[in-house]
Amino acid sequence: MQQPFVRFEHVEKSYDGKQLVVRDLSLDIAQGEFLTLLGPSGSGKTTTLMMLAGFETATSGEIYLDGKPINRIAPEHRNIGMVFQSYALFPHMTVAENVGFPLSVRGITGEAAHSRVMAALDKVGLKGLESRRPAQMSGGQQQRVAVARALVFEPKLVLMDEPLSALDKQLREQLQYEIKRLHNELGITIVYVTHDQTEALAMSDRIAVFHQGRIQQIDIPTELYERPANAFVAQFIGENNTLSGKVSAVSGNTCQVTLADGTVITGQSVKTPTVGDATLVSIRPERVRLNPHSQGDDSQVAATVVDITYLGRYARLRLKACGLGDFIVTLPNDGRDLALANGSAVNLGWSAVDCRVLDSE
């Protein structure tokens, strides 16, 4: 079995000696992997990244890089590239000087440094702008400079701390593609921190979902979205309808859940439940069919339209259903008029494989 390139072994972090910000973290990252640490503010994802970078010290446990313990190695000696949200460029330096700074501190100067700087700028699409200063560049260009600076000394590991959060949507999506392209071309290992679930799904080989200092689930994007391990992951990754009820029947990994309003629905359980267990049920809005013609749907319920929002590529319906006043259904725009109005009575249907019965925690 191949040794992990990065390993966290029972790592914990406390700032005050009482409350743990990161709890018993054990995590392996493969060489060449793009791993995203995803979670809400205060979940421990950024602290985890900062411990790997060396800017924070683990309270207990050990971090390994390429098989070697690094807890007591200074950040500048870890040979790790770093891209910050704030760009962290030197305003008095040119683009070339900013990108070349990591080389100068490593004693690489002259033509050797110049050729590396030009190559790094070419990789991020900034060739020809090497004489500008940061104030003369857009936010997207400045972040490209920061990426070039992180790559110029050819590290095997690059850490990125919410690098695109200050950019507008179109530019953010463009740079997501550029960063992923560089990852594929260069074969480097990237550990990326974000609170943006769409960004994580679009860029990552694997995603580790953090909550209250622990990894709730770590998996490839499709598994996280389609098969969340618990209610927190289901609610944090993508929009979903969450229903409360009790398990009323179990057959293998399929079970029936009776909701508070008496509605009985069928879903697939993450863990084998027991009849009578309180549970939460997750149904993605795009997996719900409106006025289904097929009798093959495992669950069918009556609903009333509360509100319809047109969003171009799809319509977003808010309905009263299953005891909720804000049950959401999204319908793709196929060019046909929905012929619905607020107050319309409709039926909803879905398959059991699209309905996840989850742990309530």
Q: What is the pLDDT of residue 273?
A: 82
What is the distance between the alpha carbons of residues 331 and 106, in angstroms, rounded to a whole number? 56
The pLDDT score that the predictor gives to residue 231 is: 87
Query: Does the pTM exceed 0.85?
Result: yes
Burial 135-172 (b: 16+ CB within 10 A, else e): eebeebbbbbbbbbbbbbbebbbbbbbbbbeebeeebb
Q: Which of 146, 159, 164 is nearest to 188 (CA)?
A: 159
- Whether the CB-CB separation of 283 and 300 falls below 8 Å is answered with no
Q: What is the mean pLDDT of residues 283-310?
A: 88
Cα 167 from Cα 176, distance rounded (Å) = 11
- For β-strands 289-290 and 80-83, DSSP reports them as unpaired
Q: Which residues contact 8 (CB under 8 A, 6 or more apart)?
A: 25, 26, 27, 28, 48, 52, 61, 63
Task: Give the 3-state secondary structure of residue 297.
Answer: coil
Least Cα distance to 60 among 51, 343, 68 occurs for 51
Nearest to 56 by CA among 88, 25, 98, 102: 25
Are residues 180 and 187 in contact, defined by beta-carbon separation less than 8 angstroms? no
Q: For the domain covering 239-358, report its CATH number.
A: 2.40.50.100
Q: 182: which 2 tokens? A: 């560089």
SS3 at position 198: helix
**So what's the pLDDT on residue 291?**
85
Chain segment 62-114, per-residue pLDDT in tens: 999 999 999 999 998 999 999 988 878 899 999 999 999 999 888 888 999 99
Q: Which amino acid is at 152?
A: V
Q: Is the pLDDT of residue 294 over 90?
A: no
Average pLDDT of the segment spanning 342-357? 92
In terms of Cα–Cα distance, which of 49, 9, 30 is closest to 210?
49
Question: Which is more confident, 192 or 2?
Answer: 192
Inform me whether the pLDDT recorded for 361 exceeds 60: no
Residue 256 phi/psi, 5° resolution?
Answer: -100, 140
Q: Which CATH architecture has domain 6-231?
A: 3-Layer(aba) Sandwich (3.40)
By DSSP bridging, strand 206-211 and strand 34-38 are parallel
**Contact in structure between 35 and 206 (CB atoms under 8 Å):** yes
Q: pLDDT digits over 227-242, tens only?
A: 898 889 998 998 899 9
Q: What is the mean pLDDT of residues 259-284?
A: 90
pLDDT tens for residues 139-179? 889 999 999 999 999 899 999 999 988 888 888 898 999 99
Q: Among all chains, which residue has been given the structure tokens 């050990």?
A: 62
More confident position, 291 or 248: 248
**Does 249 score more than 90 pLDDT?**
yes
From residue 124, how far is each of 37, 39, 42, 164, 174 by CA, in Å? Answer: 24, 28, 32, 15, 12
Whose CA is closest to 38, among 281, 271, 203? 203
Encoding tokens for residue 100? 């070349």
Burial class, 356, CB count within 10 angstroms (exposed 0-12 / middle 13-18 / buried 19+): buried
Token pair, residue 73, equals 């190695």
Percent of the chain with pLDDT over 70: 98
Mean pLDDT for the chain overall: 92
3-state secondary structure of 263: coil
Assign 360 a pLDDT band (cuts: 50, 70, 90). low
Which amino acid does the sequence have at 115?
Answer: S
pLDDT at 59 over 80: yes
pLDDT of residue 1: 61
Give the residue among 210, 87, 215 at the shortest CA–CA distance from 160: 87
Question: How does pLDDT run across 311-344, given as a tens digit for each residue?
Answer: 888 999 999 999 889 999 999 988 777 778 899 9
Domain ranges of the chain: 6-231, 239-358
Share of the chain above pLDDT 90, in %: 73
Count CA within 13 A, CB hemisphere, residue 153. Answer: 25
Alpha helices in the chain (DSSP H): 45-53, 95-105, 110-123, 139-151, 169-186, 197-203, 221-226, 231-236
d(Cα 184, Cα 90) in Å, to the nearest integer? Answer: 29
